[in-house]
Amino acid sequence: MSPTATVPFSTLIREASQRQHTEAENSSFMSDMLGGRLGVAAYRAYTEQLWFVYRALEGAADRLAGDPVAGPFLRPELFRTAALERDLDHLHDGADWRAALRPLAATETYAARVMEVARDWPGGYVAHHYTRYLGDLSGGQVIRGTAERTWGFARKGDGVRFYVFEEIANPAAFKREYRELLDALPVEGPERLRIVDECQRAFSLNTAVFHALGEAAGTQDR
């Protein structure tokens, strides 16, 4: 038995991604944006890129709903595309933003990987699902508060709806249940490690998007 087989999967995946989490949190783009050193255009650009990522994640939901590995994670109360679209309507002052919106190359790579695993590998899809949604339920709340204060969005209103999970009354309890789902994943041995690797890849894909956004906003990763 491998030593990792006895560790609950939720612990394994969290610990394996901790270093990259710190890296993502402290990326120049995130720290400049949350430190109030970037204008609302940077926040809008970030939100735009998220739209491509969540369309990839959620576009696969119907197909994966009955899958024994990925299916239990596909909870409609997590879906973010509609909230992102309301935020983008607001951030573009109601103008039609869809036609002109383009993913950055880094975002395209990220979304393509999500679509690939959604098609071929449910365990890999879970890794991407965990990386985004559990993060949104956690650090996302810090980002929301800062965005409200920095750019004057209404509390939990248009502009920050992405961070507001209207249908999750108790995020702490939800996260506990989510970790139970991770622990109950019907996967063993090398497949657990493959999923952990994919989570690390998901973090790297996020960091690459931050880097590209930072360059576009005129910051450099230090």
Using the contact rule CB under 6 A, the part of the chain among 61-69, 73-81, 117-125, 138-146 near ligand HEM is: 138-146
Using the contact rule CB under 6 A, the part of the chain among 18-26, 35-43, 46-54, 90-98 near ligand HEM is: 18-26
Contact between 145 and ligand HEM by CB under 6 A: the answer reads no
Using the contact rule CB under 6 A, the part of the chain among 39-47, 79-87, 89-97, 139-147 near ligand HEM is: 139-147
Contact between 24 and ligand HEM by CB under 6 A: the answer reads yes
Q: Which two tokens stand for residue 196?
A: 């952990």
Q: What would you report as the CA-atom Rg of the chain, rounded to the nearest whole angstrom?
A: 17
Q: Which of 17, 201, 215, 30 is nearest to 105 (CA)?
A: 215
Q: How far is the CB of 17 from ligand HEM (least distance, A)?
A: 7
Q: How far is the CB of 94 from ligand HEM (least distance, A)?
A: 29
Q: Contacts with ligand HEM in 164-193 (CB under 6 A)?
A: 175
Residues 6+ positions from 156 with CB-CB distance below 8 Å: 144, 163, 164
What single-letter DSSP state applies at residue 78? G
Alpha-carbon distance 45 to 28, whole Å?
Answer: 15
For residue 189, the tally of other CB atoms under 10 A from its CB is: 11
For residue 51, the tally of other CB atoms under 10 A from its CB is: 22
Alpha-carbon distance 142 to 123, whole Å?
Answer: 29
DSSP code per residue over 27-78 = SHHHHHHHTT-S-HHHHHHHHHHHHHHHHHHHHTHHHHTT-TTTGGG--GGG
- CA dist 88 → 51, 92, 136 (Å): 9, 6, 17
Q: How far is the CB of 33 from ligand HEM (least distance, A)?
A: 8
Site string for ligand HEM, 94-133 (x = CB under 6 A): ------------------------------------xxx-
Q: How far is the CB of 213 from ligand HEM (least distance, A)?
A: 12
Q: How far is the CB of 139 from ligand HEM (least distance, A)?
A: 2
Contact between 53 and ligand HEM by CB under 6 A: the answer reads no
Contact between 206 and ligand HEM by CB under 6 A: the answer reads yes
Residues interacting with ligand HEM, by CB under 6 A?
14, 21, 24-25, 30, 34, 130-132, 134-135, 138-139, 142-143, 175, 203, 206
